Amino acid sequence: MQEITITGLTKRFGDVTAVDQLDLSIRAGEFVTLLGPSGCGKTTTLRCIAGLEESNEGEIRFGDRVVFSAAEGINVTPGKRGLGLVFQNYALWPHMTVFKNVGFGLAHRGLDRNQILEQVEKILELLGLGGYAERFPSELSGGQQQRVAIARMVVAEPQILLFDEPLSNLDAKLRMTLRAELKRLHSEIKATTVYVTHDQLEALTLSSRITVMREGEIQHLGTPREVYHFPANLFVAEFMGNPTTNFLPAHVQSVDGRTDCVMTDGSDHSFYLPASASMPIGQDITIAVRPEDVLLSAEEVAGALPAIVYTTLPTGAECITYVKLPGSDLEIVVKGAEEDLTCLRDNQTVWLSFKRGNVFDAVSGVLVESFGFAV
Q: Give the tens place of pLDDT for each residue, 241-258.
A: 888 999 999 888 876 666
pLDDT at 340 over 60: no
**Using 50, 70 and 90 to split pLDDT, how confident is the model at 332?**
very high
Residue 303: the pLDDT is 78
pTM (predicted TM-score): 0.89
CA-CA distance, 76 to 161, in Å (whole number)? Answer: 17
pLDDT at 134 over 90: yes
CA-CA distance, 116 to 122, in Å (whole number)? Answer: 10
**Using 50, 70 and 90 to split pLDDT, how confident is the model at 215?**
very high
CA-CA distance, 353 to 293, in Å (whole number)? Answer: 9
- The strand pair at 65-69 and 329-335 is best described as unpaired
In this structure, the number of other CB atoms found within 10 A of the CB of residue 70 comes to 17
pLDDT at 163 over 60: yes
Q: Give the tens place of pLDDT for each residue, 49-101.
A: 999 999 999 999 999 999 999 999 999 999 899 899 988 787 889 999 999 99
Inter-residue contact 309 to 347 (CB < 8 Å): yes
Residue 277: the pLDDT is 54
What average pLDDT score do residues 199-226 get? Answer: 96
Q: Which domains, and CATH codes, for the chain?
A: 4-238 (3.40.50.300), 245-371 (2.40.50.140)
CA-CA distance, 73 to 66, in Å (whole number)? Answer: 11
Amino acid 348 reads Q
Residue 178: the pLDDT is 86
Inter-residue contact 185 to 149 (CB < 8 Å): no
